[in-house]
Structure formats: structure tokens, C-alpha cells
Amino acid sequence: MSTVELTKENFDEVVPGPEGKDFVFIDFWAAWCGPCRQFAPVYEKAAERHTDLVFAKVDTEAQQELAAAFGIQSIPTLAIIREGVLVFSQPGALPEAVFEDLIGKARELDMDEVKRKAAESAGTV
């Protein structure tokens, strides 16, 4: 599967909610950004290798509202949402080996534990 252009219009359709069992990787980028252009082929290759995952891209120039909602301050920024929970967000272009390792770690997350810790830090437990 290739990458999906993520917009505020299709966000709810592409990004899984709390009941979703999938997760989505989001690359926040802009055409004028050199590091974004360097990371793009790494991201595309990962999307082709991991066809069971969703890889989305947000053009921060065209989708300023969506970028603001995620608090994007520098690009590229990679975010991972799993079962409606933001489990990773970090600026910077990643080398291919590091990105592959991150994908593996995201797959291994115990989401029950993640949700429990999120509830504790929010004071809802």
C-alpha cells in the first residue's frame, strides 16, 4: 500500500479510533523542506513493505489546521496513532534502519498498558 494523503476532511476515516485495532503512521512534511524530501523515499519504502499498516502524509502547508492540532513545530515530524492513542511523535528525518526499528517497537506495544498509563496520567483512574 502506498501512502495516503491525510486531510482534516478524511482524518476520521483514515485514523482509527479507540476501538480500532490498526495503527497509522503520519509524516508531517512540506514541499520546501529538504529533510522532508530526504525522508520521503524511506517512508514510501516502509509503506510498501508493511502493507498491513496505514502510512499517511500531511502537507503542513495545505493542512495547517491539522498540523496545529498535533502541535507540529518543526518538520518532518513523525507521529504514530494506535487505537486512538498518540503513542509517538518526534521531529526529524529517520534513517531507514531506525525507522524499521521504530515500526517493530510500535507493533510490540502493549496497548492495554499504554491506555492504563494514559488514564493514570490524566487522573481518570
Rounded Cα–Cα distance for residues 108 and 101 (Å): 11
Closest CA to 10 of 50, 63, 48, 89: 63
Residue type, 3: T
Which grid coordinates belong to 109? 506495544
Catalytic residues: 33, 36
91 contacts 75 by C-beta, under 8 angstroms: yes
